[in-house]
Amino acid sequence: MNLKPASLKRRVLAAVLDTAILFVLVLPAGMAVGFGVVLAGGQPDSPAVTFWGSLVGVLVGGVYSVWTMAGPAQSTWGQRAVGLRNYHLSEGMLDASTALGRYVVSMLSSSFFMLGYLTALFSRRRQTLHDMLLDTMVVDRHTHAWAMRRRGGE
């Protein structure tokens, strides 16, 4: 199958858009958690506020990633905006467990100086570490539609 890998420029733009979307989603939830901790007697600058706020951010990010990548569009809102989709190289469509795996490994990759993302610079398919580990790649939306038709419309 001849899939066209997404350009690095479009992947970065999609990531910037997704970060902005997540900021809008996480900010109110994080503020609510912070207010809850303070109302419960904690201090605004306490480790509890940082912990619970961070946990909310990770959970909201995970739900967003799984819900969008495993959904019918097979892409986050940022990816959709720039014409990209996710593709599972052996199964076609991503399921929720694969989308969750991509999110977890991408979080780990970004925690270690973005090293997992640097693999896209050297990979023929422009795959990041989480793409390689989970047998996925990000492709041009039109290539994805062609590949799905060839697989029998999964």
Asked whether residue 40 carries a pLDDT value surpassing 70, the answer given is yes
User: Can you name the residues that pair with 88 across neighbouring β-strands?
Assistant: 92, 136
C-alpha span between 122 and 26 (Å, rounded)? 33
Which two structure tokens, joined as six digits, stand for 46?
Answer: 């306490």
Q: What is the pLDDT of residue 154?
A: 45
C-alpha span between 73 and 143 (Å, rounded)? 14
Q: What is the pLDDT of residue 49?
A: 77
13 vs 147, which has greater pLDDT?
Answer: 13
Could you tell me what percent of the chain has a pLDDT over 70? 92
62-66, 103-107, 132-136, 148-152: segment of lowest average pLDDT? 148-152
pLDDT band, residue 102 (cuts 50/70/90)? very high
Q: Give the residue among 152, 154, 137 at the shortest CA–CA distance from 5.
A: 137
Residue-wise pLDDT for 41-63, tens only, equals 877 777 877 888 889 999 999 99
**3-class SS of residue 121:** helix
